[in-house]
Amino acid sequence: MKKIASLSAGALTAKAHAMYGDILGADIYREMLGCRSIAELAAFLRDHTAYASVFGDLARVRIQRARFEALLRKYTMTRIASLAAAEKALGGSLYRALIMDYDAELLITCAEYLGSEGVGESLQFVPAFYRENSQLNEQALFRARDLDELDAALDGTPYNRLLDGFRAGAPFSVRALELLVDECVNTRTEQLIQDNYSGETRSALLENLRMRADMKTVESLYRMKTYYPDADARRTGVLSNTVTAFTQSERTALLECKDAAALTQVLKRSAYGKLPGLFKAGVIEHKTNEAMLRAHIHQLRYSTIPQVVLISFVGIQQNEMTNLIHISEGIRYGLPPEEIAAFLVTKENVRASET
């Protein structure tokens, strides 16, 4: 089992706490909601936040939505890579889970661009740490133009059987592939945790992993029961993920629910039944993201386990990227600030929802 010495663990935790100090607060969000263009938003981030590290060339480069989001991703991934590299250098293993998350994003993005001339800008600025530690052949995936080429690019990797079902005749879709990738990555991450950690550390990391997987399942089920109530959930693969805190009887009940109201009642009897805010009115993705952010902030502040602090910071940083993308999209479509604000999940509105 890979252990990190207590002195080194303190250094890793301190690094994550220091980086948390750069997470955007309520005043910054209020200012950003007043921006009238993506260029103005990028200039504000450059002049008033730690995002200056990626938006420093705005005077020479015209910023468009795709480039803006690519630079947000660069900032987010660079900060996460900094912590992951430190954990690896200290003899830890959890960085491999973060690499697998990158693998998942890479696979889905390349699948979305099959048949096109490239993968756009979304993966243009990926830090070297991910490429150096991933077992995927990034360039082969970028060049794939059809399912056969995508399958060939996976040969010799841990994902080499991923497309077997499609090759056997199952209809291909990016959504179907996403479900398979999530299951593969979650299962491999669960095994990584089981093999390398024990006791409280193992329990806390597994709880975090299962909650992340289950919140995605909850989102999918709510969308299905709201918009396609007559669809057979068993045939969609939405509950194919075996990395979960739901019991088998709860999984069966979730599949058999006739509508969103019945789904809510099953969830209230599950391990997530007491999550603050999960059952209030609102968009399901907003509620699940609030639940995750609340858990991450609590763990970052109070956990004494460095790996838990690390993975919690990752969730907080990724949530911030999502918020900034929501703001840029709202500005792009001319939404008023109050409507854009309703899409945001911040540490301030998480605290407010608890009162």
Give the pLDDT of residue 1. 42
Q: What is the mean pLDDT of residues 251-275?
A: 92
Residue 256 inside a domain? The answer is no
Alpha-carbon distance 333 to 171, whole Å?
Answer: 34
Q: What is the mean pLDDT of residues 345-355?
A: 75
Residue 137 inside a domain? The answer is yes
Question: What is this structure's pTM?
Answer: 0.93
Residue 171 inside a domain? The answer is yes
Q: Kindly report the CA angle at 85 between 82 and 87, in degrees rounded to 5?
A: 110
Q: Which of the pair, 336 or 1, is modelled with greater confidence?
A: 336
Range of the domain at 124: 94-196
Q: Kindly report the CA angle at 49 between 47 and 50, in degrees rounded to 5?
A: 115
Alpha-carbon distance 21 to 26, whole Å?
Answer: 13
Instruction: Give the model confidence (pLDDT) of 30-72 as tens digits.
Output: 999 999 999 999 999 999 999 999 998 776 567 888 889 999 9
CB 192 within 8 A of CB 93: yes
CB 223 within 8 A of CB 210: no
Residue 275 inside a domain? The answer is no
Q: Which of the pair, 110 or 281, is modelled with greater confidence?
A: 110
Instruction: Give the model confidence (pLDDT) of 131-145 as tens digits.
Output: 999 999 999 999 999
Residue 298 inside a domain? The answer is no
Query: What separation in angstroms does the CA of 216 have from each of 125, 288, 289, 322?
Result: 26, 8, 10, 15
Label residue 93 by pLDDT band (50, 70, 90): very high
253: amino acid identity, one letter:
A
Question: With 90 as the cut, is the pLDDT of residue 120 above it?
Answer: no
Give me the count of residues in the chain.
355
Residue 150 inside a domain? The answer is yes
Query: Domains in the chain: how many in total?
Result: 1
CB 218 within 8 A of CB 273: no
Spell out the long-range contacts of 208-211 with Cβ–Cβ below 8 A and sequence spacing 24 or more. 208/295, 208/299, 208/308, 208/311, 208/312, 209/97, 209/243, 210/243, 210/244, 210/245, 211/245, 211/272, 211/291, 211/292, 211/295
Q: Taking each helix axis from N to C terminus, what angle separates 65-89 and 38-48, rounded to the nearest 10 degrees? A: 30
Residue 27 inside a domain? The answer is no
Write down the mean pLDDT value for the chain: 91
Residue 320 inside a domain? The answer is no
Q: What is the mean pLDDT of residues 75-102?
A: 96
